[in-house]
Structure 1
Amino acid sequence: MDFLREVLESTGLVERTRELGLALRTTRSPGGLLVVGTPDDEPWHLTAHLTDEARMSGLQQLVPTLVRWSPPPDAPAHLRVGLTRIEEARRGETLFVVAEAKAPEPLLERLDDARRTGTTILALDGGDPELTGLAHDSLVLPPDGLLSFDGAQHLVSSAAGELPGRHGLRDRLARLLDLVSGPRVAD
């Protein structure tokens, strides 16, 4: 991941992914970061990375809620969150739309309603002008761009969990070890 950042540094993409990642942290409470995709592409992978980043950084507001288009009624509770959750979104919550393809009209309508209630709308998209227009902040990745859509998701989630003064793999591993083994006690 650090190598990729170095390669992309000159393009401005690293800074934009960092800005979007930091914007995800403005959510006030765990579960208030809603992540939604399109009916054909739910952002499972990104949701898992944000969960890991929340745990490793101690930033509980990064714990995401995956919003699904057609969740099975017998799925575990965290996988049964449907589109009605977007209708319940309020000020202090963030709705992160991850859509490489054009966002469907029903999603755009819900986003517009959520924005009117004070929900912050963020987007990572493939160039959908309607979605970009509804978002408070967005990162648009053209299909023929230097960075893949999946790569951008990795950079955004990694940036969301960055703590000032603690960067890189070594620091992340140290934090993980502290979480697993507990704090070091002086002799």
Structure 2
Amino acid sequence: MDAASVTFVREMLASTGWVERTREFALTLRATRSPGGLLVVGTPDEEPWHLAAHLGDEARMSGLAQLAPTLVRWSPPPGAPPHLAVGLERIEAARRGETLFVVTEEKAPVPLLERVDDARRTGATILALDGGDPELEGLAHDALAVPAEDGLFTFDTAQHLVSMAAGELPRSANRLLDRLARLAERITGPRVTD
């Protein structure tokens, strides 16, 4: 899903409350203190590599290095490139100032819940984007539960909205910039580009 598609979906969901909720949730991703400290993990059967790639793009485009994720994998294949070779031991090393972002539409397996609990005990911030898992949400500092069937707001859509919102300026700054742009337009006329 490209930026134009995400913008279209946002417009379609504007009256539902999901856009604001994904923006609020995305702001918590920015609390990670350093590059590499945003750990993104899924289940053994479903790795959130697509979301990790979008967060990496947002980190580069926004200049927010702390959004550059570390994709944590259950079984990295031998010889995988470094960015795809990070195993579960990275969760064991999670500390205060780092964020463990659990992304799973299905119920989290017990081994994942145990690792999440351990990371929380060492001071990591726990975030969950899930399909409504009470055990996972009970361990998370913040969770965004996506209902199974809610029209346009699917689990995939939620991932795109969250990743895009993570790289945006806070809404108050956007509003100020929009007002300044409109004021400049009134003074100088509309901006024409080639």
Shorter chain as denominator, the TM-score bin is: 0.7 to 0.9
Point out 4+ residue stretches in structure 1 off by more than 6 angstroms: none
CA displacement at 1:166 relative to structure 2: 4.8
Identity of aligned residues (%): 76
CA distance in 1 between counterparts of 2:54 and 2:41 reads 14
Question: Where does the alignment leave 5 or more consecutive residues of structure 2 unmatched?
Answer: 1-5, 176-194
2:166 is aligned to 160
User: In the alignment, what sits opposite 1:182?
Assistant: none
Deviation of 1:16 after TM superposition, in Å, equals 1.1
Q: Does 1:41 align with 2:46?
A: yes
1:115-163: CA deviation from partner (whole Å, max 9, x where unpaired) = 0111000000001110011100000011112311000000000000002
Picking from 31, 54, 57, the partner of 1:26 is: 31
SS in 2 for 1:66: strand
Secondary structure at the aligned position of 1:39 is classed as coil
Among 66, 72, 77, the residue aligned to 2:71: 66
Report the Cα distance in structure 2 between the residues aligned to 1:145 and 1:93, rounded to whole angstroms: 32
TM-score, with normalisation over the residues of structure 2? 0.84
SS in structure 2 at match of 1:10 = coil
Give the one of 123, 128, 135 matched to 1:123.
128
Query: 1:170 maps to which residue?
Result: none
Task: Name structure 1 gaps, 5 residues minimum.
Answer: 168-187
Q: SS at the partner of 2:126? A: strand
CA distance, structure 2, for counterparts of residue 155 and residue 77 of structure 1: 27
Q: Report the AA paired with residue 81 of structure 1.
A: V
What do residues 64-112 of structure 1 show as CA deviations (whole Å, max 9, x unaligned)?
A: 0000000012101111101111010000000000000011100000100
Residues 13-72 of structure 1: per-residue CA shift (max 9 Å, x gap) = 111110111100000000000000011110011000000000000000000000000001
Within-5 A mapping of 1:85-164: 85-146=90-151, 147-164=153-170
Between Structure 1 and Structure 2, how many residues are aligned? 167
Counterpart-to-counterpart distance in 2, 1:61 and 1:69: 23
Amino acid at match of 2:48: P
Q: Which amino acid aligns with 2:164?
A: S
Whole-angstrom CA distance in 2 between matches of 1:166 and 1:52: 20
RMSD in angstroms over aligned alpha carbons?
1.1
